[in-house]
Amino acid sequence: MTTFLTTPAAWPSILLARRDAADPTDLASAVRAGAFGGLTKAMRELGPAATIGLLEEAGLRGRGGSGHLAAEKWRAAARTPAKARYVVANGYGADPSVATDRALLETDPYAVIEGAAIAAFATGAEEVHIAVRAGATEAIARLEAAIVAALEAGFIGDDALESGSRIEILVRPVQGAYMLGEETVLLKALESKRGQPEQRPPHPSTKGLYGRPTVVHNVQTLAVVPYILRHGAAAFRKIGDPDAPGTILVEVRGPDGAGVAEVPLGTPLRDVIALVGAPARGRKVKAVVIGGPSGGILPASQLRTPYSFDGLRAAGAHVGSGSVVVADDRACVVDLARILTRYCADEACGKTIPCRIGLRRIAEIGERLTTGTSRAGDLQLLEDLSADVVGSALCDHERLATLPLMSGLRYFRAEVDAHLERGECPAGVCRPATLAPAAAAGPSTRASRAQA
């Protein structure tokens, strides 16, 4: 069961506004709370073009980590000539340690369904695929029940709200690896093909699922759309960061607590990590890992950084999966970066040589640092390999997988040097290999055998 963190009363709630509903699949209760009001407005008042224009005015950016403007995707898909178009809602939740997407699907499936239906109407798509991790059985059950209820009520189907638009919504349980967080890999999985990324352009908005124009969004992005339709772009822009309005779900983990919370974009990191409480007595915050396995490791001196797409990117991190992990002074940043980099190397699909081999070599540098077996020039090699991997990247996994070690090198150089130059771990976590003490003076083993 998902644990929700208590947030300040002044923080608005959009994504989790209906989380306390006794039955998340009760359509009548959801409608009384505003569900499908946005879809009704789009179909009966605005029309496709004006709906996309309103989204552009609101400045909605994708919550999947990249922060692309949603309206640009919608407009590109709508303008691309095609016999069919699709909308794909990514609720897979590729990061195994984060439950934000699953929590949203379980607590308010109608928000995702409505947002996806609005996207389909605005772009001319007739089919919506909601991708969910196969093991998220509760989320799948609630989504399927909510879809049936919405279909029976006429909100979706062959003649949605008597608009003449056909909108079919399918739940697609998928199972795979961390790479499914990349949109072109997810599309391959939905087509039952090998999960590897594709060169872009063309982007999925012009050539995606089954080679057709496809709007791919994280479920959080779609769940925000009905709010914008109901309350207007101006109201939405008053929430969060001027360059990234609205709220986003994060999963915050500290040494003594963890949970999911909805935070306004632009909130300082210190306020985000405060949701799990202060460090234990005698301890202090040493680092914060932001963005999941490929996230950046920021020091306590960076806690004023705004939790936003541009703010985190400038600091050497990214929104990613919505993971925020707080490490106190008992943690070794070098060892933490090693673990994350090894995970990224293991999860790489292997399509490109820089990723398949380069990430493995980078992970090996991390292993040598934590075992006291570093070589001269390892740090320069780390920087060179990272630049090569990022510069030739085919997907965001490659572009971001070097962040743990590179951000550790940027902000915790003294700790890295202690491992590299003296084979020491200031935190006492690593156990560097040491040479055995010299043997006592006397005949060698070989000489002893010869004498015998």
Taking only the tens place, the pLDDT of each residue in 356-382 is 899 999 999 999 999 989 988 999 999
pTM exceeds 0.85, yes or no: yes
Q: Which CATH architecture has domain 27-238?
A: 3-Layer(aba) Sandwich (3.40)
Q: What would the pLDDT profile of 208-260 be if each residue is shown by its tens digit?
A: 999 999 999 999 999 999 999 999 999 999 999 999 999 999 999 998 889 99
pLDDT at 176: 80
Q: Dihedral through CA 358, CA 359, CA 362, CA 366, nearest 10? A: -160
Reported as type and span, the H/E element at residue 236 is helix 233-237
Region of 128 on the Ramachandran plot (φ > 0 left; ψ -120 to 50 alpha; else beta): beta
Kind of pairing, strands 285-290 and 247-254? unpaired
Which of residues 96 and 50 earns the better pLDDT score? 50
SS3 of 317-378: the string is CCCCCCEEEEEECCCCHHHHHHHHHHHHHHHCCCCCHHHHHHHHHHHHHHHHHHHCCCCCCH
pLDDT at 450: 41
Contact 401, 348 (CB under 8 A): yes
Backbone angles phi, psi at 252, to 5 degrees: -100, 130
Q: What distance in Å separates the CA atoms of residue 99 and residue 106, rounded to the nearest whole number?
A: 10
- Taking the CA of residue 299 as centre, how many other CA atoms within 13 Å lie in the half-sphere pointing to its CB? 11
| pLDDT at position 434 over 70 | no
| pLDDT at position 446 over 50 | no
Q: What would the pLDDT profile of 333-354 be if each residue is shown by its tens digit?
A: 999 999 999 999 999 888 888 8
One-letter amino acid of 185: V
Comparing 27-238 with 333-422, is the CATH topology the same? no
pLDDT-derived band at 329 (thresholds 50, 70, 90) equals: very high
| CATH number of 244-328, picked from 3.10.20.600, 3.40.190.10, 2.60.40.1930, 3.40.50.2300 | 3.10.20.600
How do the domains of the chain map onto residue ranges? Answer: 27-238, 244-328, 333-422
| pLDDT at position 47 over 60 | yes
Instruction: Tell whether the torsion through CA atoms of 102, 105, 108 and 111 is positive or negative.
Output: positive
CATH number for the domain running over 333-422: 1.20.1440.230
Q: What distance in Å separates the CA atoms of residue 286 and residue 303, rounded to the nearest whole number?
A: 11
Kind of pairing, strands 127-133 and 168-174? parallel
pLDDT at 433: 57
Q: Three-state SS for 380?
A: helix
pLDDT at 199: 84
pLDDT-derived band at 177 (thresholds 50, 70, 90) equals: confident
Q: What distance in Å separates the CA atoms of residue 313 and residue 335, rounded to the nearest whole number?
A: 23
